[in-house]
Amino acid sequence: MEAPLEIKIHNDLEFSMKQKNQLHTETLRMLLSSIHSRLIEKRGQGKTELTDDDVLEVLAKEAKKRREAAEIFASGGRNDLAEKEKRELTIVETYLPTQASDEEIEVVVKKAIEIVNPASQKDFGKVMAEAMKNLKGKADGTRIGNRVKKMMSF
């Protein structure tokens, strides 16, 4: 059985095909292809199904790819391709949870620091792991990492 989020993407793909929305259709097909690749990867680990968390991980990676590609294209003067990546990113983000604000990230990082009680910068990874656990899918690792570095000043 498919994860409910995967089913929603399938249904949205069918709708977008009926509407003849090319960009939406291509983006959703790309997402389903990435989700399918993740399923094949999981089968190698003995699992037969993906959970919504697995699907969210795939979506977060795809969103990050689009964000980075848009920046690269923009810096290279290819604004047409940067715009396409941004439009794809907008579609991918509709399936992701609402992104955490900087204030929300700060609260979670502060709590992670209290839990881990780091003795030195070497405990950065432990604090990151704790913070990521609570912000899964809600914030990019780079944003969280920057906040942890700032708040762990030794």
Residues of the chain within CATH 1.10.1510.10 domain(s) are 4-93
Note the pLDDT tens digit of each residue in 8-29: 999 999 999 999 999 999 999 9
Residue pLDDT tens, the chain, 154 long: 567 999 999 999 999 999 999 999 999 999 999 999 999 999 888 888 888 888 988 998 999 999 999 999 999 999 999 999 999 999 999 998 888 888 999 999 999 999 988 888 888 999 999 998 888 778 888 889 889 988 887 5
Architecture (CATH level 2) of domain 4-93: Orthogonal Bundle (1.10)
Rg (Cα) of the chain, in Å, rounded? 18
> In CATH, which of 3.40.50.2300, 1.10.760.10, 3.20.20.150, 1.10.10.410 is domain 102-151?
1.10.10.410
Rounded alpha-carbon distances, angstroms, from residue 24 to 18, 29, 122, 151 = 11, 9, 44, 40
DSSP 7-76: HHHHHHHHHHHHHT-HHHHHHHHHHHHHHHHHHHHHHTTT-----HHHHHHHHHHHHHHHHHHHHHHHHT
Spell 51-86 as b/e; 16+ CB within 10 A means b. eeebbbbbbbebbebbbebbeebeeeeeeeebebbb
Alpha carbon 61 to its chain centroid, in Å, reads 5
Residues of the chain within CATH 1.10.10.410 domain(s) are 102-151
pLDDT of residue 48: 84
Note the pLDDT tens digit of each residue in 58-68: 998 999 999 99
Integer Cα distance of 38 and 1 in angstroms: 15
